Structure 1
Amino acid sequence: MSTLMLASEIGRRPVVTLSGEAVAQVKDIVFEGRAGRVSGFTLSGRGIFSGPKRQALPWAAVTALGPHAVMVRDEAAFEARSEVVDRGEAAGGDVLGSQVLTDAGTDLGKVTDVVIEVSVTAATVVGYQVASTEALGRQERTVYIPLPETVAVSGEALVIPASATDFVADDLPGFTGMVPAFRARLKDA
């Protein structure tokens, strides 16, 4: 079973050991750009005055990513921050604020968040939350747009197939079935 989450919801989530000790909190998500999946998390200490930790959490050491916490066996799961960050590819950089264009040249809006599908074995980017343009008939509304398994991202724009506009949802629960349906259409085409 998998669950959809927004990347912004994962930030500041506590990292808790299976013995119940809160040992850190998520600072940032590290993405593998080409693979489109989460490779780990940078961490900060717990509390208002805590700064970034020198350690990070690789995805392979996560036992669960739930709605309230990231679970790990123990603090031995942490690695040097540089190792986890270096595993993630910086290709494309931060997509927040990027323009979403179809391969037909239509501006669909700007990315406001990343939709991640979390399963037992992986956390994969499956779509974007977008502040839409009138091209979608939902100007200045938040919508969810699915992504193909591979996507072209530059520092300024995200290019998706025009057929993705047939699978836009107005909310995250409604988006759940859109990604597999969209990807199935791409495979049939």
Structure 2
Amino acid sequence: MMLFTEVRGLPVVAPDGAGPLGTVTSLTVDAVTGSVSHVRWRGGRFGPEAALPWDAVCALGPGALRVRSAAAPESAPPHHDLLGRRILTDTGTGRGTVLDVAFDPRTARLLALFTTRGEVPADRLLGVGDYALVVRAG
């Protein structure tokens, strides 16, 4: 298990180990599959942000995120950072704010959402939008 906050800031390293390509800025989640779909990273302090599909990740550990290729895909899905996002249930009740997200680094499946009002199982995630993250009431 890893947390989003543990991944943010990790160096992105090419498979040849030639040095860091950049730094992880965030992870994009696909609410339909309940998993991380893309890794977003920046090559320098003022460089543009790039997105790589999770399939391009070959290893993830506490020291770095190693990728198979740094070639950016033609298009990446819209990104909504989960950290700090407001949470609403499908009935409109507020459930706090996302503090962190646990996921399996091998499969990219989300495991749990840690919020200001407690833990929410990842299988309750219904969608992520500009305003809030929506979870099934339960």
Q: 2:3 aligns with which of 1, 6, 13?
A: 6
Q: In the alignment, what sits opposite 1:99?
A: 87
Which structure would you say has the larger RCO, counting Cα contacts within 8 Å and 6 or more residues apart?
2
Residue ranges of structure 1 left out of the alignment (5+ in a row): 133-142, 163-189
Return the match for 2:62 from 63, 67, 83.
67
What are the equivalent positions in structure 2 for 1:3-152 lying under 5 Å apart?
A: 4-20=1-17, 21-46=19-44, 50-53=45-48, 55-73=50-68, 77-80=69-72, 83=75, 85=76, 88=77, 93-95=80-82, 96-101=84-89, 107-119=94-106, 122-132=107-117, 143-148=118-123, 151-152=126-127
TM-score (norm 1): 0.57
- TM-score using structure 2 length: 0.74
Flag structure 2 segments of 5+ consecutive residues without an equivalent: none
**Distance change (3 Å), C-alpha of 1:115 and 1:52:** farther
Max radius of gyration: which structure?
A: 1
Report the Cα distance in structure 1 between the residues aligned to 2:108 and 2:37, rounded to whole angstroms: 8
Secondary structure, aligned partner of 2:39: strand
Whether 2:132 is the aligned partner of 1:156: answer yes
Q: CA deviation at 1:151?
A: 2.3
The runs of 4+ residues in structure 1 deviating greater than 6 Å are none
Number of aligned positions between the proteins: 135
Identical positions, percent: 27
Deviations 1:106-155 (A, max 9, x none): 65432222222222xx21222211111xxxxxxxxxx3321226525553
Of Structure 1 and Structure 2, the greater helix share is in 1
* CA displacement 1:16-46 (0-9 Å, x = unmatched): 2343322221122222232222222222125
Structure with the higher strand share, 1 or 2: 2
Cα deviation, 1:66-96, whole Å, max 9, x if unaligned, reads 12210124xxx1233652x2xx355xx4443
